[in-house]
A and B are shown apart, each in its own frame.
Chain A
Amino acid sequence: MEYFIEAFNKALELMLSCDSELYGIIFLSIRISVIASLISTIIGIPFGAIIGLNRFRGRAPLINLINTFMGMPPVVIGLVVYILLSNQLGLLGPLRLLFTPTAMIIAQVLLATPIVIGLTIVAVQGVDPLVKKTAVSLGANGYQLLWLVIKEARYAIGAAVITAFGRLTAEVGAVMMVGGNVRFQTRVMTTSIALHKGMGEFQIALALGMILIVISLLINSALDMLRRGRGMDH
């Protein structure tokens, strides 16, 4: 227990130290996860809602595939993105994105989008079928119905976004692989923790872990407040 208390004190010390490297790591972590979450949300919600709302040939296998991708190991995603972006092997090699924050965002988008799509499908399917029938009977066209269903399922869809964001802030394998954990460039909280652990600096690693948890808590609380606030909005 004493070890954890010391790590907690260390975390406080680090936070109050105004160390530019630490704050750079924190802000890069937040920036990458927030941008990736936003992109995943923009792609995932409409796709999820369309799949959840419509019946078409191949829907069941498609949902199975999405569910499989929801549980995809990050290192596999990281490896695929690494190959795609690598100079020698990849189609996107000439863009020279490997070991940049952009590469990390691409990997994270690939990780989070299936989560947003999959959970949006579940959320949309949870909307009372009579709500959809009512909207259609009142004259809603396809887009208007889609928008209504997204609004009706907004609490559950908000939870999907929070889940995806949580997965991204905790992610280490993919960002390590495509970001390379380059100091001052692509080092984020999770890769930093892995690095310190590798160097045997367990207490610093633990302190960084505590800071990461606090940051995640603050961001999730903000997202949750936003979600609830919107729900109460008339």
Chain B
Amino acid sequence: MGQIFSIENLVKEYEGKRVLKIEELKLEAGKITGIIGPSGAGKSTLLYILNGLETPTIGKIVFDGKELENEPGIETRRQMSMVFQKPIVFNTSVYDNMAYSLKLRGVPKGEIQNRVLEIARFIGLEDKLGQKARTLSGGEAQRLSLARAIIYKPKVLLLDEPTANLDPANVAMIEKLILHAKNEYKTSIVIVTHNMYQAKRLSDNVVFLLNGDIVESGESAQVFGNPRDIRTQDFIEGKMIY
């Protein structure tokens, strides 16, 4: 399989301070790439740049064979979706939240209904479709956020710490949904996580970021099993103080 993202000589600065510098990074299509690293490493910034929510100071990003513009057009953006650490639901019903991205794309009503019901059953919210989304628990709201992001079968799913502060049952359900998107929808997934076990469980490939630089990247088994850099090993073993 080819690359979904290819990054070259990318630098992101905030008020003159460099927060991210990537000479080269290729993210494989159809795979789950875990971005790991301590707080302030630039993980979320990278995700925001890939989604077009932030623009790089300099650098080139190729998305699915085409160079990404600084402000990607609607057609490009509509091939991606992103879920944030904080569960974000709109102030409408659970059904309307799930249907939102499909409505944006003008999907016929009948099809919207079928897809919402299908995914609601998958995440155990079929009995709550008429409920106001803001009355859901944190775990349910995050399940809804993720369901809303994958319901239109995006080419790319970007996840920024999607299971932080969730209980194990909800973490399991979210991970099941992530794998469902990868296996059934062939979605390429980039997940930022602090949870080493989760990165190990889910990722095909791993990128370790430290102070805005890539320390190491490669297949998950290699990075976790036989890290090439001592800093990666320290981080994985929890020895890195940050």
Contact = CB atoms under 8 A, between A and B. Distances in A.
Interface residues of B, number: 29
Nearest to A134: B88
Interface size class, chain A: 20 to 34
Contacts of B145: 134
A138 B53 contact: no
B104 interface: yes
Contact of B74 (A134, A139, A148, A231): A139
B77 interface: yes
Determine chain B's interface SS by DSSP, over half rule: mixed
Given A234-B93, A234-B130, A138 B148 contact: yes
Determine chain A's interface SS by DSSP, over half rule: helix
A148 to B, nearest CB: 7
Given A137-B77, A138-B149, A139-B74, A234 B105 contact: no
A148 B90 CA distance: 8
A151 B92 contact: yes
A44 B80 CA distance: 34
B90 A137 contact: no
Contacts of A154: 91
Interface in B40-64: 51, 53
A172 B96 CA distance: 45
Nearest to B85: A130
Given A144-B104, A152-B91, A234-B92, A137 B53 contact: yes
The list of the 5 closest CB pairs from A to B, nearest first, reads A137-B82, A139-B78, A234-B93, A138-B101, A134-B88
B153 interface: no
Contacts of B105: 139
A151 B91 contact: yes
B51 A137 contact: yes
